[in-house]
Structure 1
Amino acid sequence: MVHVMDYRYVPRRDILCIDVKSFFASAECVSRGLNPLTSFLVVISRPESDGGLVLAATPLMKEVFGIQTGSRKFELPNDPRIIIAPPRMKYYLDINAQIRTIFLRYVPEEDFLPYSIDEVFLDVTSSHRLFGSTIQIAKQIQMAILNELGLYVTCGIGDNLLLAKLALDNEAKEVTSRLSEWRYENVQEKLWHIRKLTDFWGIGERMARRLQNIGISSIFELSQTEPTLLKMHLGVIGQQLYYHAHGLDYSRINEAYQPIEKSFGKNQILERDYHDPNEVIIVIKEMAEEMASRLRNHFVDTNKVFLNISYSKYSPIRGFKHQMKVEPTNSSKTLKEILEMIFWEYYQNEPVRVIAISFGGIALKRGLQLNLFESPAKTIQVERLERTIDKIRKRYGYKSLMHASSLTNGATGIKRSTYVGGHQG
């Protein structure tokens, strides 16, 4: 017997999940007077290099050539129709601000939730008297963005954030209207027929493997599994997935996705293989200094430091990742020393291509952490110095005050200080 939820008493909202189709690539098309749906264009970081990474591609690039985000420049076919554009992050942020202005014509700030630079949630439950039905509002937004900015947007509609997102990802992107509506009444016919576990919001490759290990290979099977069994194998997330498999999500936009514990992370793909480990250390210190400044700007400390090093694709080994628990700190000096220590302990004399650093265990700063090997006066002096450096750089830019090592071979801080979101502005 199939178990179906009774939806008569669950809350219902009118939620839109809206995605700008191939945002970066579409914005580049519009700037050139081209239609994003009929053009062959890719946005590539470091387009001068064959290893340049595709950040966005127009729908035709995906459909005709199979080129999508994550492809490399050398994979592009030799076709004169293809336009290669370097990323312009400041331009995309400006377009994003214009799109946001359009959204806020239809909902107040508290009913608007940015999910990424090209995707948002809107709660239009209170907007019907002014703008009509939910579908009418969605169509008005689509037309406003197309007419004013030349961009095509796709929209999922649902009774909650989950159903709206699933409607967007699993149906709206496949239909000509670029609009799909999934309500509680559609759970059995639509949600339970999602093709793969990883097509479901919140289930990645790792979680899919864990579900398959306990005999669950579809969303329907997930919905029919006892929640106590799911909790036993997966913890609280198992119970959450059970209710999600029935389309239930009680999150509200004005209270959704406020994590109790955040993490700060930074990832850098180097422009070449670094064979000299001392050059790697320079980049690690630059990254650590920038991230420590972010901690101080948020008045928080970290107590968990994580370093992930990936070696060259020509190396016989992949690299290493290691984390270390530390006393709560946001000191550039301390964090640089810890990361350097981790690097030298695990480095295996292979060329490095990718460096990733993250700080976890984030908590509000409660006081100054004293050091047994350093006088309190010295500790206070170092903290004041670091905050002074933060203020100078914030006002005058990174190059106004930097370490001499940032001028040496291999350093990337000066060049990357002109980037936006890790790419050229």
Structure 2
Amino acid sequence: MAMQIDYTKMPKRDILCIDVKSFFASVEAVRRKIHPLSAYIVVISNKNRPGSVVLASSPKVKKEFGIKTGSRAYEIPDDRRLMIVEPSMALYLKVNQMIINIFKRFVADEDLFIYSIDEAFLDVTASRRLFGDKVDIAQKIQRTIFKELKLVVTIGIGDNPLLAKLALDNEAKEAPDGLAYWPYERVKETVWRIPELTDMWGISGGYQKRLHNMGIYTVYDLAHADPFKLKKRLGILGHQLYYHAWGVDYSVLSERVGPKEKSYSKGQILMRDYYSEQEVVLVIQEMIDEVAMRLRRHQAAASGIALGISYSRDIEEKGFRHQMLLPRSTNSTKELAVYFMQLFKRYWRGQPVRQIQVTCSKLAPADYEQLDLFTPAELDEKNHAIDTVMDEIRQRYGKDSIFRAHSLMKGGTFLQRANHVGGHKG
């Protein structure tokens, strides 16, 4: 028997979840003086690769051609109306900051949570005296962003962040006015009617399968399942999913706690399968160089690392991800490389590599870097001096102004990607 929820005891706020419609494609449309909803634009990571991923497509392209984020270049039809463009990440980041500045006219910093480059949560509870009720504020934000930036935004409104997000994803994005309000009182006719479990915030394909194995196929089923069995099978997340199916979310934006542990990482999908150990090692070293530079820029040192390797889709094995604790915290490129190479050589068995991820975690201020009794102080000082000089030159003249000689060898990607932003062309 499912429990009944007393919504009068739930925290009730005026939350907006705002999404810029097809953000990358819309920015490219405005750049060309085309209304975002009238454009036929596809933003693709690399026009020269048939397997390149579509990063964004304008609403008309999604509707008429079925091309959306995650589609591949070879799926794009040969149609004269379509404009295929490569990303301009620096421009997107600039426009994103302009949007954030507009949000800050309506809410205090603590009531703003940036969820992604094209999505944000705003708690407008304290803004009502200045700007009207939640719907008035949502409409004013829509008008302001379109007037100043010519971008179209859709907004989900809810009594908590969960309901606002669900309203956005399941109604507002298709609503004529781009707005949808899901309060506690309408959970049964809104949340319970979400057609697919994966349309719920926080339910991945993997959890959908596990829920299916429990006889749970819809959000309605989830809301009427035994919460104790859910917790037994899925742990604390099972309990959370049960309450989410009832529209319950206790989080308050201004009271949110930041991530428990910060880390720095870099991932890269290779242009082809790499079979040679020398080539894979080369790319790992280039990526370590960049992550180590970020550590030093933030005066941090890492005492934990993780290496993720994904194999070619042509073989059954998926790859591996392993981590290790270091004997001391460090931000030395050379020292970090030694440990990453240990991980790679311990677990790689010659499979074709297509994707690499390096992560440095368990951070501490670099001022408190531990001394290593087995490393001569002069060598430590020499490595530090090399890193410092390279960092200064790159910060002043660009990342490709100085590089290690191995980047000129076959398989190196550093020079090709040096001026990318977020992994894509700036």
Q: TM-score, normalised by structure 1?
A: 0.92
Q: Aligned residue for 1:168? A: 168
* 1:153 partnered with 2:150: no
User: What's the secondary structure of 2:368's corresponding residue?
Assistant: coil
Matches within 5 A, 1:216-295: 216-256=216-256, 258-295=258-295
Taking the aligned partners of 2:401 and 2:294, their CA distance within structure 1 comes to 18
User: Which range moves more in the overlay, 221-230 or 200-209?
Assistant: 221-230
Deviations 1:120-145, CA, capped at 9 Å, x for gaps = 11111111122111111111111121
Taking the aligned partners of 1:2 and 1:92, their CA distance within structure 2 comes to 46
User: What's the secondary structure of 1:37's corresponding residue?
Assistant: coil
Q: Aligned residue for 1:22? A: 22
Taking the aligned partners of 1:348 and 1:106, their CA distance within structure 2 comes to 55
User: What's the secondary structure of 1:122's corresponding residue?
Assistant: strand
Deviation of residue 186 (structure 1)?
A: 1.3
Contact 1:371 1:379 in 2 (8 A): no
Deviation of residue 406 (structure 1)?
A: 1.9
Matches within 5 A, 1:23-62: 23-62=23-62
Deviation of residue 257 (structure 1)?
A: 5.3
Taking the aligned partners of 2:367 and 2:33, their CA distance within structure 1 comes to 54
Q: Aligned residue for 2:321? A: 322
Seen in structure 2, the aligned counterparts of structure 1 residues 344 and 115 have a Cα distance that, compared at 3 Å, is same
Taking the aligned partners of 1:11 and 1:66, their CA distance within structure 2 comes to 40
* 1:394 partnered with 2:412: no
User: Which range moves more in the overlay, 346-355 or 94-103?
Assistant: 346-355
Taking the aligned partners of 1:319 and 1:336, their CA distance within structure 2 comes to 24
Deviations 1:127-179, CA, capped at 9 Å, x for gaps = 11221111111111111212222211110001111111111011111211111
Q: Aligned residue for 1:87? A: 87
Matches within 5 A, 1:340-351: 340-351=341-352
User: What's the secondary structure of 1:18's corresponding residue?
Assistant: strand
Cα RMSD after superposing both structures? 2.3
User: What's the secondary structure of 1:240's corresponding residue?
Assistant: helix
Q: Aligned residue for 1:333? A: 334
User: What's the secondary structure of 1:168's corresponding residue?
Assistant: helix
User: What's the secondary structure of 2:360's corresponding residue?
Assistant: strand
User: What's the secondary structure of 1:187's corresponding residue?
Assistant: helix
Deviation of residue 317 (structure 1)?
A: 4.1
Q: Match for 2:79: what amino acid?
A: D
Taking the aligned partners of 1:96 and 1:224, their CA distance within structure 2 comes to 40
Deviation of residue 360 (structure 1)?
A: 4.2
Taking the aligned partners of 2:329 and 2:213, their CA distance within structure 1 comes to 40
Contact 1:154 1:168 in 2 (8 A): yes
Taking the aligned partners of 2:200 and 2:115, their CA distance within structure 1 comes to 16
Deviations 1:2-55, CA, capped at 9 Å, x for gaps = 533111132211110000000000111111111221221100111122222211
Taking the aligned partners of 1:149 and 1:72, their CA distance within structure 2 comes to 29
Contact 2:2 2:227 in 1 (8 A): no
Taking the aligned partners of 2:418 and 2:206, their CA distance within structure 1 comes to 35
Instruction: Give the % identical residues.
Output: 46
Seen in structure 2, the aligned counterparts of structure 1 residues 384 and 85 have a Cα distance that, compared at 3 Å, is same
Contact 1:267 1:357 in 2 (8 A): yes
Deviation of residue 251 (structure 1)?
A: 1.5
Contact 1:243 1:249 in 2 (8 A): yes
Matches within 5 A, 1:198-209: 198-209=198-209
User: What's the secondary structure of 1:410's corresponding residue?
Assistant: coil
Seen in structure 2, the aligned counterparts of structure 1 residues 409 and 389 have a Cα distance that, compared at 3 Å, is same
Q: Aligned residue for 2:189? A: 189
Taking the aligned partners of 2:88 and 2:304, their CA distance within structure 1 comes to 34
Taking the aligned partners of 1:388 and 1:149, their CA distance within structure 2 comes to 41
Deviation of residue 397 (structure 1)?
A: 2.7
Seen in structure 2, the aligned counterparts of structure 1 residues 303 and 323 have a Cα distance that, compared at 3 Å, is farther
* 1:378 partnered with 2:364: no
Deviation of residue 187 (structure 1)?
A: 1.3
Deviation of residue 258 (structure 1)?
A: 1.2
Deviation of residue 297 (structure 1)?
A: 3.6
User: What's the secondary structure of 1:177's corresponding residue?
Assistant: coil
Taking the aligned partners of 1:363 and 1:243, their CA distance within structure 2 comes to 37
Taking the aligned partners of 1:417 and 1:47, their CA distance within structure 2 comes to 18
Deviations 1:269-319, CA, capped at 9 Å, x for gaps = 222333433122111101112112323444444444332333344x43445
5+ residue gaps, structure 1:
none
User: Which range moves more in the overlay, 298-307 or 131-140?
Assistant: 298-307
Deviation of residue 63 (structure 1)?
A: 1.3
* 1:307 partnered with 2:307: yes
Q: Aligned residue for 1:10? A: 10
* 1:115 partnered with 2:104: no
Q: Aligned residue for 1:414? A: 415
Taking the aligned partners of 1:110 and 1:335, their CA distance within structure 2 comes to 37
Q: TM-score, normalised by structure 2?
A: 0.91
Contact 2:303 2:330 in 1 (8 A): no
Q: Match for 1:342: what amino acid?
A: L
Taking the aligned partners of 1:116 and 1:273, their CA distance within structure 2 comes to 30
Taking the aligned partners of 2:367 and 2:222, their CA distance within structure 1 comes to 43
Deviations 1:229-257, CA, capped at 9 Å, x for gaps = 33332222222223222222221222325
Count of matched residue positions in the alignment of Structure 1 and Structure 2: 424
Seen in structure 2, the aligned counterparts of structure 1 residues 228 and 360 have a Cα distance that, compared at 3 Å, is farther
Displaced runs of 4 or more, over 6 A: none
User: Which range moves more in the overlay, 13-22 or 243-252?
Assistant: 243-252
User: What's the secondary structure of 1:164's corresponding residue?
Assistant: helix
Deviation of residue 336 (structure 1)?
A: 1.4
Q: Match for 2:163: what amino acid?
A: L
Q: Match for 2:180: what amino acid?
A: S
Taking the aligned partners of 1:362 and 1:8, their CA distance within structure 2 comes to 43
Taking the aligned partners of 1:108 and 1:388, their CA distance within structure 2 comes to 41
User: What's the secondary structure of 2:126's corresponding residue?
Assistant: coil
Q: Aligned residue for 1:353? A: 354
